[in-house]
Amino acid sequence: MTGQGPATVRVPLSDGGYDVLVGRGLLAGLGGLVRSTGVDAERVHVFEDTGVPQALRDAVVGSFEMARVTRSEFRLDETTKSIATLERMLVDLAEAGLARSDLVIALGGGILGDVAGLAAGLHRRGIRVVQCPTSLLAMVDASVGGKTGVNLRAGIDGSPVLLKNAVGMFHQPSLVVADVEALASLDPRELRCGMAECIKHAVISGETGQGLLSLSNLIDAMPRLLNGDATLLASLVEQSTCLKAGVVAGDERETATGSTPGRRALNLGHTFAHAIEGCEGTRVEVDDASHHPKHGEAVGLGLIAAGRLAEVLGVGSASLREGIENSVQAARLPATLSASPDLASLIAVMRQDKKASGGRLRLVVPTSSGVEMTDDPGDEALSRAWQCVI
Ligand code: GLY
């Protein structure tokens, strides 16, 4: 970042793209910032995550001096990232009377941003949204790239499973405002969860990763990052967002096929992670208690399993897998599950993941130069990968 102003990362897309502004103290002046970037509207509806301090939410709403502002509050988790919540948001937008030229503000974590983005994409066949991520995970991943969605519950082989992001659409934001000061009030567990996506970006960068996108630099910086060093966190968000913007620009709608990963690179570790999140019996030890894993915790475990899979398949080295494991541990994320269903169930849920087509899994695996795609590696290799985290 230069000077006191926010750093700007451009996401260059076919329709022109949009900016991600990264800085400190941006949210309190959001209305002015939105106006100065030309994303103005007569009416604004703010979807607020009640995890964000009330004073900051009030400041955001108050900053839209020239617009008529309505607001509604949500506290969401993976089970309420649902069609029912989407319907509530759509009713809010209809009752607020937002026209096609009006604006939605998504102020909160990744789950709120995903559902609010979907509601904006559906209201009157699509209105603009400004994503204002307040968690690290949302800043470096969920808010950038236009993926929106909700989960579905379904029975797979007789067991209830949460199918992650089974319903959604691409709806790119008009602007993303990442204010790292919002991270000061974030639950430390959530901050650690966001680190999993940063580790993923460092792995995708491969051996040539610079700055905080090199695994060894990230490990060194981790104590200061977890301690809330705002300058370092802003650099991490900027560098991570830059990596993601480049990947998204190269394959906006994840249409790459064959051996070219394209945007699928960003799914590194996620097919394992979605199985971990989807099975009710999975547990991790966090802060001396047993919990069902949060998304970032599942991604950390998924990255380790993907590293092990690459090693088993002979495309990634043991030292790369160890580097991933060390980063996950440096971020104080769980490196193993404390309880899980049997391997066959985990693999069955993995095969239900939306990235499996025609029953065949295609997985992203890490290599020294970044990532590559692998066709269904078979149950034996998958079992060996899973054994690394269970
Ligand atoms: N979170 C993965 C992607 O945006 O493609």
Q: Which domains does the chain have, with CATH numbers?
A: 7-186 (3.40.50.1970), 196-238+263-386 (1.20.1090.10)
Q: Give 362 Cα–ligand 1 centroid separation in angstroms.
A: 16
| Host H or E run for residue 218 | helix 215-226
Ligand 1: nearest atom to the Cα of 248: 5
Query: How many whole angstroms separate alpha carbon 63 and alpha carbon 48?
Result: 14
What three-state secondary structure class fits 251? coil
Q: Are 108 and 48 in contact (CB under 8 A)?
A: yes
Query: How many whole angstroms separate alpha carbon 26 and alpha carbon 72?
Result: 21
Query: How many whole angstroms separate alpha carbon 62 and alpha carbon 196?
Result: 34
CA 25 from chain centre, in angstroms, equals 22
Q: State whether the beta carbon of 43 lies less than 6 angstroms from ligand 1.
A: no
Ligand 1: nearest atom to the Cα of 142: 1
Q: State whether the beta carbon of 204 lies less than 6 angstroms from ligand 1.
A: no
Closest-CA residue, ligand 1 atom 3, reads 266
Query: How many whole angstroms separate alpha carbon 211 and alpha carbon 217?
Result: 7
Torsion of CA 78, 222, 286, 47, to 10 degrees: -30
Q: State whether the beta carbon of 109 lies less than 6 angstroms from ligand 1.
A: no
| DSSP class of 360 | B
Q: State whether the beta carbon of 141 lies less than 6 angstroms from ligand 1.
A: yes
Q: State whether the beta carbon of 266 lies less than 6 angstroms from ligand 1.
A: yes
Query: How many whole angstroms separate alpha carbon 107 and alpha carbon 354?
Result: 27
Q: Give 95 Cα–ligand 1 centroid separation in angstroms.
A: 31
| Host H or E run for residue 129 | strand 128-133
| Host H or E run for residue 352 | helix 343-352
| Host H or E run for residue 115 | helix 110-122
Q: Going residue by residue through the chain (390 aa), what tens digit of pLDDT does each one get?
A: 444 689 999 999 998 999 999 999 999 999 999 999 999 899 999 999 999 999 999 999 999 998 899 999 999 999 999 999 999 999 999 999 999 999 999 999 999 999 999 999 999 999 999 999 999 999 999 999 999 999 998 877 677 778 889 999 999 999 999 999 999 999 999 999 999 999 999 999 999 899 999 999 999 999 999 999 999 999 999 999 999 999 999 999 999 998 999 999 999 999 999 999 988 899 999 999 999 999 999 999 999 999 999 999 999 999 999 999 999 999 999 999 999 999 999 998 888 765 555 657 899 999 999 999 999 999 999 999 999 999
Pocket test for ligand 1, best of 13, 141, 201 (most atoms within 8 A of CB): 141
